[in-house]
A and B are shown apart, each in its own frame.
Chain A
């Protein structure tokens, strides 16, 4: 197993790291010269805009998924055991459905002559079809739609373990709905919240299909940029450097997660 992962996982990554310091040949090959040019290129304002958009979209996706997923996970966890299975199944079906299919569904709905525009015109909201597809909004909808199950499942796992008598005690002690939520439910389900956020944040930051299909040429994200540099511009060294920048962003997120997780453990042991 280690041999397999060594050859087909770590070796490719190391080669990519090496290539990210090399130069680009005239015909798109790799020229073995040691330089930091590719990493200097990363600070190009055009690229910075793309990282900025990716980060903003990933954060917005995570927040929306949390806002939507939290009440759903909570009501699943509080439902009677028999019904919980049915609810979970309903969340699992989209989770197991092909991602391309789910993205295509939004193309079908949002396109100019699509369902949404037909509906809006028939309702008299607008006379001319609106351009809904190929925008940041379309990408955001697609990402939230795609990754919502990733948020609901860990949240549910955390809430299932939540001791309901604690919540009832808070009610009995005349806590208002808000303070029960902020001071009892949220702190107790924090590990699930963090896990869900990480699971949504990582894939949406590196998303490729969603911005490719629902976004336009002006709404690239990092994932598309890497693909563009590799397959269209044939500038492998620069593409590799961008990949490592993306990985650094992701690892920062994961490390932040483990750090808060560790603190949480200590906090619980302290009690």
Chain B
């Protein structure tokens, strides 16, 4: 028993080391004074300063935020209404909607990107930030719907029935009873969709045109042209941002409880 315990614990530690060592190394070397060497040459903030002066990078950040805000808003409205609407459907129709929602999640991302590219070219919609936003909404709607629906199925139907018995219209019952109960799930879904949109590379890669470079596209082109300490610095910032987003979602969840 005890030996099993020790074995388990060390296996878990190996796992965590495997997950974190690369990230830790990356961050550590973003402060390395030498541009080329993989040996430590002294501490510097130079690479972070270089990022702030990189105009193309700042434009990409701006584009990414714009795409994430717009596509998350649309996906949330569509996803929540899909989840709520689905509860009213029965039998075959409900099954159809379920499959419609799940398919974008199991389809390989490359395929979705290519199909959207084909579609935009054929309907002669020029590739721009607009096409990127449309692409992000396509796989964010199912994600929002799945998260909200999971919560919706756990709600007590008697609460809504009670509101209706007390003379509320169905719309008022939705606004005053269902929606407040769904809020934690919706917040979770919004954060998830926002993060995924901010991080998405594959679909964006195929649907972005000239002048609509987002942050992941910019990171990709930097990485493609070789390893550099600026990318390390940028990566360190991105890791910090994702940690902050998780922290935010945890705090919001705790407040609800």
Residues of A within 8 Å of B245, CB to CB, are 96
Q: Can you list 9 contacts pairing A with B, beta carbon distance less than 8 Å?
A: A1-B78, A8-B135, A72-B11, A105-B22, A105-B23, A105-B25, A108-B227, A171-B1, A247-B108
Residues of B close to A104: CB separation below 8 A: 26, 219, 223, 227, 231, 235
Chain B residues with Cβ below 8 Å from A4 are 78, 137-138, 141
Q: What B residues does A103 contact at CB under 8 A?
A: 223
A206→B243 contact, CB < 8 A? no
Contact of A93 (CB < 8 Å), options: B9, B134, B232, B246: B246
Which among A13, A68, A226 is the interface contact of B110 at CB below 8 angstroms?
A226
B191 to chain A, nearest CB (A): 9
- Given that A2-B97, A98-B219, A113-B38 are contacting pairs, would A89 and B227 also be in contact in the complex, using a CB cutoff of 8 Å? no
A111: chain B residues at CB < 8 Å are 227
How far apart sit A91 and B135, CA to CA, in the bound complex (Å)?
Answer: 28
Question: C-beta contact mask, A234-251 vs B, less than 8 Å → 1, else 0?
Answer: 001001100100110011
Q: Interface size for chain A: under 10, 10 to 19, 20 to 34, or 35 or more residues?
A: 35 or more
A92 CA to B223 CA in the complex, in Å?
24
| B25: min CB distance to chain A, Å | 6
Asked if A137 CB lies within 8 Å of chain B CBs, one says: no
Segment among B46-54, B55-63, B117-125, B178-186 that sits at the interface with chain A = B117-125
The residue of chain B having its C-beta at the shortest distance from the C-beta of A177 within the complex is B4
> 4 closest pairs, A vs B, by CB?
A206-B108, A12-B119, A105-B22, A71-B11
Quick one: which of A96, A100, A118 contacts B201, CB cutoff 8 A? A100
Q: Is B195 on the interface with A (CB-CB < 8 A)?
A: yes
Provide the bound-state CA to CA distance between A96 and B244, in Å.
10
Given contacts A1-B141, A108-B26, A115-B25, contact A69 B15 (CB under 8 A): yes
Contacts of B26 in A (CB 8 A): 101, 104-105, 108
A107 to B38 alpha-carbon distance, docked (Å): 12
Q: How near does chain B come to A19, taking the closest CB pair, in angstroms?
A: 6
Q: A254 near B: Cβ within 8 Å? A: yes
Say whether, besides A5-B138, A96-B246, A101-B235, A115 and B119 are in contact (CB < 8 Å).
no
- Taken together as a complex, chains A and B put the C-alpha atoms of A209 and B216 apart, in Å, by 11
Answer whether residue B251 sits at the interface, using C-beta atoms and an 8 A cutoff.
no
CB atoms of B115 and A250 under 8 A apart: no
Q: Which residues of B contact A10 (CB under 8 A)?
A: 100
A11 within 8 A of B: yes
Q: A4, A104, A117, A209 — which one has the most chain B CB atoms within 10 A of its CB? A: A104
Q: Other than the known A100-B216, A113-B36, what 10 A-B pairs have Cβ atoms closer than 8 Å? A: A8-B119, A8-B135, A12-B118, A71-B11, A93-B246, A104-B223, A115-B38, A206-B108, A206-B111, A227-B114
Interface centre among B29, B101, B202 (most CB of A within 10 A): B202
| A10, B99: Cα distance in complex, Å | 12
Q: From B22, B106, B227, B232, give the contact of A202 (CB < 8 A).
A: B106
The reply to whether A109 and B22 contact each other, CB–CB distance below 8 Å, is yes
Least CB distance from B48 to A in Å reads 15
Query: Given that A96-B242, A98-B216 are known contacts, is A243 also in contact with B115, CB under 8 Å in the complex?
Result: yes
A112 to B31, CA, bound (A): 21
- Verify A71–B220 contact, CB threshold 8 A: no
Minimal beta-carbon separation of B129 from chain A (angstroms): 15
B-chain residues with CB within 8 Å of residue A209 when the two chains form the complex: 201-202, 220
Question: A9 and B104: CB pair below 8 A?
Answer: yes
A102 and B27 CA atoms in complex are apart in Å by: 11
User: Chain A: which residue is nearest B81 at the CB level?
Assistant: A1
Tell me the bound Cα distance from A208 to B141 in angstroms.
Answer: 23
Residues of B within 8 A of A115 (CB): 25, 38
Give residues of chain B (193-210) contacting chain A, Cβ–Cβ below 8 Å: 195, 199, 201-202, 206
Which residues of chain A (188-240) have a CB below 8 Å from chain B?
A: 202-203, 205-206, 208-209, 213, 222-223, 226-227, 230, 236, 239-240
The yes or no answer to B85 lying at the interface (CB within 8 A) is yes
Q: Nearest residue in A to B229 (C-beta to C-beta)?
A: A108
Q: Which of B9, B97, B110, B134 has the most CB of A within 10 A?
A: B110
**Does B148 have its Cβ within 8 Å of any Cβ on chain A?**
no
Say yes or no: A223-B108 contact (C-beta < 8 A), given A12-B115, A108-B227, A208-B202.
yes
The answer to whether B18 has its CB under 8 Å from any CB of chain A is: yes
A106 within 8 A of B: yes
Least CB separation from B74: chain A residue: A4
Task: Determine if B44 is an interface residue (Cβ-Cβ < 8 Å).
Answer: no
